[in-house]
Amino acid sequence: MANTYTAIATVTVGSGGASTVEFTSIPATYTDLLLVFSLRSDRSASSISSSLIVNGSTSSYSSRYIRGDGSSVASYTGASSYFNPGEVPAATATSSTFGNGMVYIPNYAGSTNKSFSFDNVQENNTTGAYQTMGAGLWSNTSAITSIEIGHRDYASGNFVQYSTATLYGIKNS
């Protein structure tokens, strides 16, 4: 069981927003990574699917996840050009609400394919809010040195001011 969590970096979006939240030059000195985020988009919708890519790669991702919306549950297979860590509120969602989630990446610096697991909730004071859980795989043996969170399929839009994400390194000693 991990007993040391170290904040590697925190990104807080300033006024004017940002199309992506990025972590670069991730050191290979930890066992695992944990990405924790609180995001909101300015796109014209009640929610948007977020995307996560590592090392700038837009291929070799696979995932499976389940999502509930307050009245039903469904399961999905994810895209191959990015990993989808869940939904975040957008412009027409309840004002000032942010979607919160986390992505756990074990053995991120190892020489095997990289697995992901995640839990996310798209906050909204309506019956259409989503909670999503899932797991995925990046079929690449390179160490993860950068992570970027954006809008699904790089659609237009920005994460709004006060959106934040923190990347933690985890050690077992």
Architecture of domain 12-171: Sandwich (2.60)
Strand 32-39, strand 164-171: pairing? antiparallel
Q: What span, in angstroms and rounded, lies between the C-alpha atoms of 74 and 51?
A: 19
Q: Which are the contacts of 28, defined by CB distance < 8 A and separation ≥ 6?
A: 109, 143, 145
Query: What percentage of the chain carries pLDDT values higher than 70?
Result: 94
- Segment 93-118 mean pLDDT: 94
Q: Tens digits of per-residue pLDDT, 28-77?
A: 999 999 999 999 999 888 888 888 999 999 999 999 989 888 788 889 88
- Partners of residue 34 on adjacent β-strands: 104, 168
* 1 has pLDDT over 60: no
Residue 128: the pLDDT is 67
Strand 21-23, strand 147-151: pairing? antiparallel
Q: Given pLDDT bands bounded at 50, 70 and 90, which one contains residue 152?
A: confident
* 155 has pLDDT over 70: no
* 14 has pLDDT over 60: yes
Residue 154: the pLDDT is 59
Query: What percentage of the chain carries pLDDT values higher than 90?
Result: 61
Where do the domains of the chain lie? 12-171
